[in-house]
Chains A and B, each alone.
Chain A
Amino acid sequence: MLEDGRISGRQFTTLIFLIIVSITVLQVPPLLLGLAGQDSVLAVLIAVIIDGVVAAVLYFLGLRYPRKTFIQYSEDILGKIPGKFAAVIFIQFFLLVAALSIRGMSDFLVTIMPETPLTVFIIAFTLVSAFVARGGIESLARMSEIIAPVYIAAIVFLMALLLPEMDFSRVLPLFRYGAKPVIMASLLPASWFGICIIMAMFMAYHHRPEKTFTVKMTGVVMGASVLLLLLIACIAVLGVEYASMLSYPVYILARQISLADFIERVEVIWVAVWLLAGFITISSLHYVSALGTAQLFGLREYRPLVLPLGIMLASFSFLIYPNAMSGVKFILQIFPFYALSIEGGLTTLLFLIALVKLLTNKLGKERRR
């Protein structure tokens, strides 16, 4: 076995939760508010449903091919060559999202610390994630179990302090433009929630695979709730137009806290917990890309792949887009369709073929009788 570790249901939940609340809460709010305005809240709910469908599909496949990651079972389903091809697509998707996350986080940190070169952040993130990825799934899962409560506590703390600044009448009107733009806009959060197809990698190491769907959706719902809370806070404190104008409204949101001229400048708390969550995300993606590559080529060990993949990741983070402005364009116009075609399209294709195979097998057996 490449990986002997087992993770518990709670660890599964916290991993999925942190993956959602890190990069998604950084990139999604301004763009989503720009697309759907007050209806962003509904768009997130639709995105959760879309993600639930994908989760059900992967859950079915994971039960059908127990103790196998989808890199492995795509070969069983599609046959050797097309299966390897599908596996390559999954792996490069994880690599791309990892690079996007590293770049997104570094771009954000550069706006706070403009004198530090982007390189420093990118290399630091990659090195740390490589270190964790070498540790294997168990250490990753245990880390997430520690970080998730801290993250939740920090968000609750910040939201409570923001309450006096909120004007909830700004949350209205809902459904101003009808359903179609909301559904279109929901593709953006859905594409980011969709990173949770990483569950198909983790499910093979879940100690009770039959519970995977429940624990995964718990993580998604928790993560989506944090995103919802932050979106509502953005609207109530800053207003839709102002928030969508900002590059990082959640950071600006945390800057608004001022309680009795005493508790002020606490945005660093948010940056700290969010960095922890982002570090779990990057490490998870780094880990699954290394593990997936090892499984793809049938290697006995994935650890030697971690550092070379890290070098690829770091350079990929540089090359992915030239500046933060074109990054926004990429995330808004290209990423949702690219990501959903893999997260939704390729997984559904696997599912359908597996279903057809299952049914023909059954029919064949009956006929033989």
Chain B
Amino acid sequence: MSQKKKIIIMFLAALLLYLHAGCWSRREINELAFVMALGIDSLDGGKLYKVSVQTANTKTFAKEGSGSTEEKSFAVYTATGATPAEAVRNLSQQLPRRLLLSHCRLVLISENLAKSGVEPVLDFLQRNREVRETVWVLVAKGQADVLLEQEFDMEDIPADTLSRLIKLGEETSRGYAATKRDFLYKLTTARIDPVAASVEVLPDVAREGKPGVQLGGLAVFRADKLAGWLDAKETRGFLWVTGEAAAGSIVLDSPLVPGKVTFEFLRVQSRVTPQVRDGRVVILLDVETQGDLGDLAEPWVSRGQDNSGGGMEELIKEVERGVQETIEDEILAALHRVQREYKADIFGFGDAIHRRLPNEWRKIEERWDEIYPSLEIHIKVSANLRSSGQTCHYRHR
């Protein structure tokens, strides 16, 4: 290699150093506002969108352990705009840092906006490249920005409190939180209607001036519009049908034992099978569950009493029958509310027919909205009591 070539290569290599200084569009942590939760309200009867962001105050994280909580660990900013995207842009008028939506955990949509249609909001969420598919889409009972301002117990940032509540709610079969992906899948698929979890503040159960918060019943949508709510019982009915129920308890009155019995279910499976009967499409719904005895009131009353197993079969049968009835009851409550009142197909029965009986579906596709409210659904529940827990005591009356 000639001397000249060497010099040129050295020069080019030195030029490379400039590129190593960093990215063109780098964004340092102290220039960013980490959005933990996004709230969207509608104003002026839907003409304006009001966007509120709950941002983490990174300064308080640095002072960990000091214990002085004079400074709030989060801040809420709001702005309005004619579209969700414009409202988010308008936030920069008051927020000195650049928004980063990648860490956003949940999107809260206010009740009013949900009623008038959430499609513009979800379109914005899908086009935006920062919002992950795993964010939860929630409906706030009341206003979203008010809810985001609330400080709750335990976690420093309310968005964390909410997302833990959601996780626990799902684990104990109290609710079902749709992610952006779930919601958009159901919204774009014409044969399923979306649902979303709701969040409500409980001002009555305040602790140290901080109100309580809870995961409410499901918000039922018809296409992109909020049709109504489900209560706790109906929400669990929905979970039974879709097989989303994870674990939880059912309390029974049993004539065989003096008090009440708790059945702790652990495993739930459900199967939706559409079938043609007498020229009409009906849905067969099979729900299977398995669980243990959680408690049995007064099993100890007389010590050393009969432990030989007499009457055990009756008790097991009794509990299993009671569980079946309760589950059926909950499913019927949900079906009744959703099918007759809201006329929303949140269980995806239409989609099940489309998958399994595509030829039948083509016949009824056009009239589905009329057929659905009177669709016949045959429910079959089977419960299996697996064990009596860490004790084998029970008392036979």
**Which of B25, B132, B188, B358 sits near A241, CB closer than 8 Å?**
B188
Check A115 for interface membership: any CB of B closer than 8 A. Answer: yes
* Bound form: Cα–Cα A239–B362 in Å: 19
Chain A residues at the B interface, C-beta cutoff of 8 Å = 111-116, 169-170, 172-173, 175-176, 238-242, 245-246, 252, 255-256, 258
Contact in complex: B185, A115 (CB < 8 Å): no
Check B189 for interface membership: any CB of A closer than 8 A. Answer: yes
Neighbouring A residues of B188 by C-beta, 8 Å: 239, 241-242, 245
> Interface residue tally of chain B, by bracket?
10 to 19
Contact in complex: B358, A114 (CB < 8 Å): no
Contact in complex: B24, A114 (CB < 8 Å): no
Give A256's nearest chain B residue, CB to CB. B133
State the Cβ distance, B98 to closest chain A Cβ, in Å.
12
**A255 touching B132 in the complex, CB below 8 Å, given contacts A242-B184, A242-B188:** yes
Contact in complex: A114, B129 (CB < 8 Å): yes
**A115 touching B25 in the complex, CB below 8 Å, given contacts A169-B355, A173-B358:** yes
Question: Which of B134, B355, B356, B362: most chain A Cβ within 10 A?
Answer: B355
* Bound form: Cα–Cα A170–B132 in Å: 23
Check B233 for interface membership: any CB of A closer than 8 A. Answer: no
Grouping DSSP codes into helix (H, G, I), strand (E, B) and loop, the B interface class, with mixed when no group exceeds half, is helix
**Which of B126, B133, B184, B358 sits near A176, CB closer than 8 Å?**
B358
Give B355's nearest chain A residue, CB to CB. A172
Chain B residues at the A interface, C-beta cutoff of 8 Å = 24-25, 126, 129, 132-134, 181, 184-185, 188-190, 354-356, 358, 362
Give A167's nearest chain B residue, CB to CB. B185
Neighbouring A residues of B24 by C-beta, 8 Å: 115-116
* Bound form: Cα–Cα A39–B337 in Å: 36
The 6 closest A-B pairs by CB, nearest first: A173-B358, A241-B188, A172-B355, A239-B185, A176-B358, A242-B188
State the Cβ distance, B105 to closest chain A Cβ, in Å.
12
Neighbouring B residues of A115 by C-beta, 8 Å: 24-25
Contact in complex: B354, A173 (CB < 8 Å): yes
Neighbouring B residues of A255 by C-beta, 8 Å: 132-133
CB within 8 Å: A-B pair count? 46
* Bound form: Cα–Cα A9–B246 in Å: 53
Neighbouring B residues of A245 by C-beta, 8 Å: 126, 184, 188
Neighbouring A residues of B185 by C-beta, 8 Å: 238-239, 241-242
Question: Which of A113, A116, A241, A258: most chain B Cβ within 10 A?
Answer: A241
Contact in complex: A112, B129 (CB < 8 Å): yes
Neighbouring B residues of A172 by C-beta, 8 Å: 355-356
Contact in complex: A238, B181 (CB < 8 Å): yes
Give B187's nearest chain A residue, CB to CB. A242
Contact in complex: A173, B355 (CB < 8 Å): yes
* Bound form: Cα–Cα A113–B26 in Å: 11
**Which of B25, B126, B184, B362 sits near A113, CB closer than 8 Å?**
B25
Neighbouring B residues of A111 by C-beta, 8 Å: 129
Give B354's nearest chain A residue, CB to CB. A173
Contact in complex: A241, B190 (CB < 8 Å): yes
Question: Which of A111, A239, A256: most chain B Cβ within 10 A?
Answer: A239
State the Cβ distance, A191 to closest chain B Cβ, in Å.
27
State the Cβ distance, B276 to closest chain A Cβ, in Å.
15
**A173 touching B356 in the complex, CB below 8 Å, given contacts A241-B188, A258-B134:** yes
Give A38's nearest chain B residue, CB to CB. B355
State the Cβ distance, A171 to closest chain B Cβ, in Å.
9
Give A245's nearest chain B residue, CB to CB. B188
* Interchain Cβ contacts under 8 Å between A and B, 26 examples: A111-B129, A112-B129, A114-B129, A116-B24, A116-B25, A169-B355, A173-B354, A173-B355, A176-B354, A176-B358, A238-B185, A239-B188, A239-B189, A241-B185, A241-B189, A241-B190, A242-B184, A242-B188, A245-B126, A245-B184, A245-B188, A246-B126, A255-B132, A256-B133, A256-B181, A258-B134
State the Cβ distance, B19 to closest chain A Cβ, in Å.
13
* Bound form: Cα–Cα A111–B358 in Å: 37
Neighbouring A residues of B132 by C-beta, 8 Å: 255
* Bound form: Cα–Cα A4–B33 in Å: 59
